[in-house]
Amino acid sequence: MSEWLFELDKNLFFSLNGSLLALDSFWIFWSSGAAWVVMALPIVWMGLCRLHLSLFLGALVGAAILLTFTDQVSNLVKDLVQRPRPCRIWETEVHLLWPRCSEFGFFSAHAANSFAQATWWTFISSQYLANRISCIIGVYCYLAASCVSLSRIFVGVHFPSDVLAGLIFGTLTAFLAAKGFAALKYKFGRSSPL
């Protein structure tokens, strides 16, 4: 990474990390596994109330495959790039709210996973639910994914560029998965392609 980009990343990190101390608990929550329960609420509602069971189960399998893929690729990239986390570089300066600071951080698996799921479920809702409901679900999923992603900076374990790269990777991966899902549905005669 060039020197000026690293300085920009560092300055942005320190301008966010520790800047909203009153919200520390909020950011810790969004970095935890409990945030996934909050993210899942509209998905469970869709499955229980709005989608045919076979479609919902197919979407769940797609989401699980997508989650596994984005998570494993982000871990592979971390091992290949070996970019230290900010909490490793500046151990005493970082406002660390997370119980552990693993070694490498590029790119953020939390950002990749949450934006992949937000994109996937927004696609599913846009194909099978009314416009207004689909829009509400999409906004909800992307707001939740944004909170998860930003929390990684505020808890001190990722640079903003780690989060941005994860966001881009997760969104593009889910977009391609959604295109594949639509093509399969079209091939088997259930709906038209995107």
Domain boundaries, the chain: 38-95+107-187
**Local confidence band at 21 (pLDDT 50, 70, 90 cut-offs):** confident
What is the model's pLDDT at position 192?
Answer: 44
What is the model's pLDDT at position 1?
Answer: 60
- The number of residues in the chain equals 194
Of the given ranges (136-145, 155-164, 185-194), which has the lowest mean pLDDT? 185-194
Torsion of CA 122, 69, 29, 84, to 10 degrees: -130
**Local confidence band at 193 (pLDDT 50, 70, 90 cut-offs):** very low
Residues 49-100: tens digit of each pLDDT: 877 888 888 889 999 999 999 999 999 999 999 999 999 999 889 999 988 8
Q: Residue 189 pLDDT more than 70? A: no
| Omega cis (within 30) before 107 | yes
The residues near 134 (Cβ < 8 Å, ≥ 6 apart) are 122, 125, 126
Evaluate whether 118 touches 140 at the Cβ level (below 8 Å).
no
Mean pLDDT of the chain: 90
Beta-carbon count within 10 A of 128 CB: 17
Q: Residue 167 pLDDT more than 50? A: yes
Report, as an integer, the average pLDDT of 169-188. 87
What is the model's pLDDT at position 13?
Answer: 94
**Local confidence band at 134 (pLDDT 50, 70, 90 cut-offs):** confident
